[in-house]
Every structure is written in C-alpha cells, then in structure tokens.
Amino acid sequence: MAKTDYKNNSSDMPKWLKKAVFYEIYPQSFKDSNGDGIGDIPGVIEKLDYVKDLGCNAIWLNPCFESPFFDAGYDISDYYKVADRYGTNDDLKKLFKEAHLRGMHVLLDLVPGHTSVNHKWFTESMKPEKNEYSDRYIWSDSVWETPKNMGSLTGICDRQGAVAVNFFSHQPALNYGFYKPEKKWQQPVDAEGPKATLKEMMNIMKFWLDMGCDGFRVDMAGSLVKYDRESLGTIALWQKVREFLRKEYPDAAMISEWGEPEKSIKGGFHMDFLLHFGPSHYNDLFRCKKPYFSGKGKGTCKKFVKKYVENYEKTNREGLICIPSGNHDMIRLSKTIRGNEAKLAFAFLLSMPGAPFIYYGDEIGMKYREGLISKEGGYERTGSRTPMQWNNGKNAGFSEADPEKLYLPVDDSKKRPTVEDAEKDPDSLLNEIKKLIKIRMEHEALLNTAEIEFINAGHYMQYDRFTKNERISVIINPSGEECKLKMKGKLIYSVGKGASLKDGKCIVKGGSACFVKHEADK
Ligand code: NOJ
C-alpha cells in the first residue's frame, strides 16, 4: 500500500513517547492554589484532569527551581530545589505521582548551559583563590581579554579574568570546554573542569528522575561546547548523556531546544523542536505578515515544507521533530491565526509526526496581551505569559488574590475566552482539539513515529501519514479556493467550510481540512 517504504528506527525511544501529546505549562500563570497571586505546583496537580480531558497525556513544565527570576526561572540558583513560590520538592514528587496515576508523563526543563549569577557555584568561582568551582564557568585569564564571539562579564570581582555568558548577562556560561582550544584558558572538553560540569548535570538529571520525572526538555541544548562550528563536541557530549540514560533510565525522554534535528538526533535526543527563529520557516505558517494558515490565502508553505522534508530525511527516522503551537518565547498564535483558521492550524499540528506541543491557553485561543510591562525578563514575550483563563469568576479562576497582586494581569476584556465557555460551546477550538487528539490516538498512521510523505505544498497542503498497516491522507486548505483530488477511502475527519468524498473524488472547500483513510490493499 505504501508508496514509500515504511522505515522506522525509533526502537530505542521510550514507548510512551511514541503516543505522547504534550501540554506546556508555564507554572507562574497556570493555577494559583494558595492565593498568593502566582501559579504553583499544587495548582498544576489540581488541573491535571483538565489536561487529560483535553487529550494531552504529557506535560512540559517550564523551570520551577530556585532562582532570582531575572529570566523567569531560566536563571537557576539551585538545581535541586523547587522555588518556594511554587511549593516544595515533595509537591513536585506528588505531581509526578498524580500524573502517573492518570497515565501521564512529566518533563522538567533542564537548563544545562548557564546558571544565575546568584548560584553558589558562580559566587565561589568569582573568588581569586582556586576552589572546587573555579573551572565551572568559562573564565579568561585577564579582565582585559573578553572571550571572542560571546557575551561576557568583566571587572565584577577580584578574580583575574572575564567570564562568558550564555544568554542574558546574568546567565554565566557553564564550562563544557572548547572544541578546539586556542588559548590556555580555553579548556578542552576532556579537562577536569568540563568533565565535572557534565557529571554534575547528570547528577541533577538523576536526582529528578529518581523522584519520578519522565525526562527533560533541554534548554539551548546545542550551545554547550564552545567554538564548535559543526557541533561535533556538543553532539559527543549528548551522546554520553544518552549512554548514561540508556543504561540507567531507558524510559526517560530527551527533547531538545536545538532546531537542527540532524545534529540533535545524532546526539541522542529523541525529538528536537522546530524553532521560531533560524532556518525552519515555522513562522511562515503561523507568525509573519502573511501566514499560510491565515484565511487570506496569501501565505505560502513551500519553504517550510522544503526545509521540513530536508530535516526529516536527515533524521533517518531515528528521532523526531516536534512542532509546537507556541511557547513562552513566542507571540501567541491567536495574534495572527483565529477562529476557523486556528482549527485548520491545529488539524495540521495534530496530524504531523513528532509529539505535538500545545502551549497552555492556545487551546482556547488566549490572546497575546499587548503593551504589558516586561516581567522577569520576558520583554515582548510577557504578553504570552498571562494567567490561564479558567472561568468567569474572580481573576478568571486563576487565583483568589487581589488583582493587583497577580503575577501578571488577567485579560479582563468582556470577550476573553475561558475554558468554562469553550467547554460549553460545541464549535469551540477546545472541542475541535479534543476531537483531533482522539482521532490521532485512534489511528496508528497519525501517531508520532508514523511516516510522512508530502504530496502537495501549494494553496492546499497534502501529506500522507502511514505505517505498514495504515495510510491516511491529510488535506489542509486554508486558501479561499476549493481543491479537487482523486482519492479513494473513507473520510474520517473534516473541519471548516466542508469536505466530501464520493466516487473517488475528494472536494475540500477553501477554509477546510480533512483526513481520508485509504482502503487497505487487497
Ligand atoms: C530558551 C528559553 O525558552 C527562554 O525562555 C530562555 O530565556 C532562554 N532559553 C535562556 O535560557
């Protein structure tokens, strides 16, 4: 039946990951259980049934560890401790347990590339006297010599040297060594300092995995070894991590924020995120002047599909590519894609290979809040991080605190979407997403590791998903023009203005999408 041979090399992948549909939770803004104005882990536990009912069986929780929160927790000051504002380590342990009881899995966010300047490792490493942490970060040997092509801090302490930073200036880069060191202070990857950093990162992973966590989304995974143009050093480093996990935690999932699947999958990651920057053309579909999924029919998916197919081939089906609906770093989807357009966008997101990721609130079309003052290093990302809108009660059901005490203001517009309203409306995006996830789960050809073959990437998109037992054609037509295709089989899903299948002819009206299950070969 298959035009292309079914080839699946994902045997090394945790079984649960092959059927995982993720829900990303930004803990600050999901559910406040104790009325202090900020979301917390008991709040996440309270809402697990909601996430499950949506159809998601896995969670990615943004960093919830001790931090001064200058980058919303991506600036960690203690990797082994849940930040007080979110609860305790025991609460997190309970979250893992409660998720497992519901057949769900939880990924934590691992931030291996940098810490906060407040981390004890860093304050120790600033000391001029040699100590255990002197080589934990990348220090040059003179305050006058700042590391080339990297941000750095200099003149901040009596240690003679400048220290490299990884992202914001308060996030000093942990030392995993240089691929080809050129100066004495640039340590090779197998020097004691870099080795100790990696060992500690693995201890951290062990600590949370032993507590019941199911794996990690890894922040800036491709940035660890420095001056590593081809990423060979960083790939080798992750291969070591994979080796350790394979032996000790074979069910732990590893998903990278890297955006170059040909590298990350070689490094042993099970999945890699498509990023909204770099070469992916992800934004062509969702977030640009003329997004493909906007109903105006002026956008194009050509470059996206070309790049996707290129990447897909390079992964050799040994790992997968994840396409998120959004995340805490992007402008919310609803700014550019609304109503019926969003349903088509989700028909795409939930029928592609790789685990889908739904960013909290995207399922009800939560708005990007313009003009908010930056919070915790969010800058323009802040508008995508506002409290979840559960119902029409106080603070939209997010928190019992006084509104001025909230982490970020709740959308108080009359027409704001809420879970309560969306659940009651049979035509809501939320209910469409539930339907889509259900169909995905019922068909092996739509699951994460089933193959994809693109047939068309024009005003409509057509791709086949298949395994050796089943083939399903997905047709998504966001344009104003209908499309007619020759096709036999059964219409198993349609959304939008209308799609029909009769006498071997499939007609998909503009603004519609459908899935057709092929007849099995006789
Ligand atoms: C990527 C994270 O998603 C983002 O929120 C963070 O600011 C940077 N990495 C730095 O850790």
Give me the CATH number covering residue 124.
Answer: 3.90.400.10
Distance from the Cα of residue 377 to its chain's centroid: 19
Q: What is the pTM of this model?
A: 0.97
Q: What is the spatial distance between Cα 138 and Cα 185, in angstroms, rounded to a whole number?
A: 8
- Residue 516 falls within a domain, yes or no? yes
304 within domain boundaries: yes
pLDDT at 88: 98
Domain boundary among 407, 440, 473: 440
What count of residues does the chain have?
522
Best mutation site among 167, 171, 374 for ligand 1, i.e. most ligand atoms within 8 A of its Cβ?
Answer: 167
| Domain identity same for 252 and 285 | yes
Residue 273 lies in a domain: yes
Residue 56 sits in a domain whose CATH number is 3.20.20.80
Residue 96 inside a domain? The answer is yes
Ligand 1 atom with the shortest distance to the CA of 114: 11
- Residue type at 256 in one-letter notation: S
Tally of structural domains, the chain? 3
The ligand 1 atom at the shortest distance from the C-alpha of residue 75 is 11
Q: Measured in angstroms, how far is the CA atom of residue 280 from the centroid of ligand 1? A: 18
Asked if 255 and 310 sit in the same domain, the reply is yes
Mark whether 359 and 478 lie in a shared domain: no
Residue 120 token pair:
């004890």
Q: Do 234 and 352 reside in the same domain of the chain?
A: yes
Instruction: Indicate whether 245 and 394 sit together in one domain.
Output: yes
Shared-domain flag, residues 325 and 265: yes
Kindly state whether residues 311 and 360 are assigned to the same domain. yes
Quote the CA–CA distance of 372 and 383 in Å, as a whole number.
Answer: 6
Residues paired with 61 in a beta bridge: 25
- The CATH number for 459's domain is 2.60.40.1180
126 and 103: one domain? no
329 lines ligand 1 (CB under 6 A): yes
Atom of ligand 1 nearest to the CA of 328: 5
Tokens standing for residue 164? 């490299």
Please check whether residues 206 and 96 belong to one and the same domain.
yes
- Residue 2 belongs to a domain: no
Beta strands in 230-335 (DSSP E): 253-256, 271-273, 320-322
Atom of ligand 1 nearest to the CA of 168: 10
Q: Which of 440, 464, 482 is the last residue of a domain?
A: 440
Within-domain flag for 186: no
DSSP class of residue 130 equals -
Same domain for 83 and 152, yes or no, is: no
Residue 392: partners with Cβ closer than 8 Å, 6 or more residues away? 418, 420, 421
Mutation probe of ligand 1 site: the residue of 67, 69, 75, 219 with most atoms within 8 A of C-beta = 219
- Whether residue 188 lies inside any domain: the answer is no
Angle at 330 between CA 456 and CA 13, to 5 degrees: 65
Q: What are phi and psi of 364, to 5 degrees?
A: -110, 5
Q: Ligand 1 within 6 A of 71 CB?
A: yes
Residue 445 lies in a domain: no
DSSP 489-511: SEEEEEEES-EEEETTEEEE-TT
Instruction: Write out pLDDT tens, residues 475-519.
Output: 999 998 999 999 999 999 999 999 999 999 999 999 999 999 998
Out of 409, 440, 471, a domain closes at 440
Pocket test for ligand 1, best of 217, 220, 224, 385 (most atoms within 8 A of CB): 220
Q: From the CA of 219, how far away is ligand 1's center (Å)?
A: 7
DSSP letter at 324? B
**pLDDT computed for residue 2 by the predictor:** 43
Ligand 1: centre distance to CA 74 (Å): 6
Task: Say if residue 323 is in the same domain as residue 239.
Answer: yes
Are 252 and 340 part of one and the same domain?
yes
**The token pair that represents 225 in the structure block:** 């070894």
Question: Ligand 1 centroid vs 378 CA: distance in angstroms?
Answer: 10
Domain that holds residue 119: 114-173
Per-residue pLDDT in tens (0 to 9) along the chain, 522 residues: 445 566 666 778 999 999 999 999 999 999 999 999 999 999 999 999 999 999 999 999 999 999 999 999 999 999 999 999 999 999 999 999 999 999 999 999 999 999 999 999 999 999 999 999 999 999 999 999 999 999 999 999 999 999 999 999 999 999 999 999 999 999 999 999 999 999 999 999 999 999 999 999 999 999 999 999 999 999 999 999 999 999 999 999 999 999 999 999 999 999 999 998 888 999 999 999 999 999 777 899 999 999 999 999 999 889 999 999 999 999 999 999 999 999 999 999 999 999 999 999 999 999 999 999 999 999 999 999 999 999 999 999 999 999 999 999 999 999 999 999 999 999 999 999 999 999 999 999 999 999 999 999 999 999 999 999 999 999 999 998 999 999 999 999 999 999 999 999 999 999 999 999 998 765
